[in-house]
Amino acid sequence: MSFFQLALIFLTIAGLSVGQILFKLAAMELQPWKEPILRNMLNSKLLIALLVYGLATILWLAVLRMTPLRIAYPFVAMAFILVPLMSHYWLDEPLRITTFVGAAFIIIGVIISIWGTE
């Protein structure tokens, strides 16, 4: 796997993770029972989250053009590490030791799943 492929994969994962944080921020502002649905859909954080997700999807398509899915897809699990870290720093959500233990298992799992594939 080339450096370029890895860079695209990690940019995709970062985009998906940032998108999740933005979705959470948007969700905290939405008032579905008080505001008309169109006003909720025009929430700036929601629109930015959708844009970030759209860009991440375009990057993912580029990844899939040059990388077998069986190799690229395990890396998506890295978002399960980035999102809790980002939510801790941007949303003040607590981090627990189990988050780090789980992250270690995820990293080991990604390594095992791509080991010797190319």
Domain limits of the chain?
Answer: 3-114
Question: pTM for the complete prediction?
Answer: 0.84
Mind listing the pLDDT tens digit for each residue in 66-114? Answer: 999 998 999 999 999 999 999 999 999 999 999 999 999 999 999 998 8
pLDDT at 38 over 70: no
Q: How confident is the model at residue 44 (pLDDT cuts 50, 70, 90)?
A: confident
Half-sphere exposure of 104 (CA within 13 A, CB side): 4
pLDDT at 34 over 70: no
Q: How many angstroms from the chain centroid is the CA of residue 21?
A: 9
d(CA 111, CA 76): 12
Half-sphere exposure of 111 (CA within 13 A, CB side): 6
Q: What is the mean pLDDT of residues 7-23?
A: 96
d(CA 26, CA 99): 24
